[in-house]
Amino acid sequence: MYQIIGSFKSYLSVLGYSIGTQRMLPACIRDFLEYGQYSSIGEIRPADINMFYEWLHERPLKRGEGALSEMMISHYVYALKVFFSWQLETGGVTINPVSMLKFKSPGRGYREALTVAEIQTLFTAAATCREHAMLHLFYSCGLRRSEAVRLRLSDLHFRQRLLYVRSGKGDRRRVIPLMDRVAASLEQYVLQERGKARYMGTAFMLNSMGRAMRGDSYANLLKSLVRKAGMRKEISPHYLRHSIATHLLQRGMSMEYVRDFLGHKCLESTQIYARPGSHQLQAL
């Protein structure tokens, strides 16, 4: 069974899933297989998955008190769907047991986007080229954190005012046009700060030690900037991406344009992230 989990992780890597997803989905499948103690994948039936699903609602947290959230349970369901679709494709099963089941959709907590004034407050508080560049990557360019981590210096073409996302979610690629001020700010970071680092690898953004920025490095840099700006909010890089989507829609951009800008596969995903007004949805 552990060999199957390793192969599943390799499959997710080939498809271009983020590092976090490559860890989370196999961990969910490992919990499922350990729960059922199955001798083979082929013996698993829809009833077994239903029993596991019901158990998840009762299972205590491994750390601390309380039970799993609806969103965490939905991650388990998603992991099972991806896993058994893969097993069906590779001949591990002849019938996908998950395809016969229906699960309750989790309630979605909604966080209001930052206002334009709050975004301006962050940019005003940014004192270094690196802080400005970070804000532009997540807000002005709408990148996911994993996309920023993978961004290379060669992916930016300042003369053409273009940023290339080579491996977005689901291995989808896209090209993001840069406004003049955004391109100028990103180029200024390269010329004034990045060029001074001892480590000159391929990564676009470098941390204070001159090494490639990781996901937690971006989160910590943003958290420090939020404190410096005197804002009493928990703001993540994804929160900035969510905010630019909302602001673009409020400015009259079409849902299709925002979908392509964010790198979403379908409009439903854009609706969830951007929360447009009813008049915008009626125009679709």
User: Could you list the active site residues?
Assistant: 144, 169, 238, 241, 264, 273
Which of these, 147, 182, 176, lies nearest to 164 by C-alpha position?
Answer: 176
From its phi and psi, is residue 252 left (phi > 0), alpha (psi between -120 and 50) or beta? left
Which string of DSSP letters, residue by residue, matches 82-114?
Answer: HHHHHHHHHTS-SS-GGGG---PPPPPP--PPP
Tokens of residue 165, six digits: 């996302």
194-206 b/e (C-beta count within 10 Å ≥ 16 → b): beeeeeeeebbbb
Burial class (CB in 10 A: 0-12, 13-18, 19+), 7: middle
- Please compute, for residue 177, the number of CA atoms within 13 A of its CA located in the half-sphere on the CB side: 5
Is the C-alpha dihedral spanning 94, 78, 245, 190 positive or negative? Answer: negative
Side chain identity, residue 13: S
Number of Cβ atoms within 10 Å of the Cβ of 259: 20
Cβ atoms of 136 and 126 within 8 Å: the answer is no
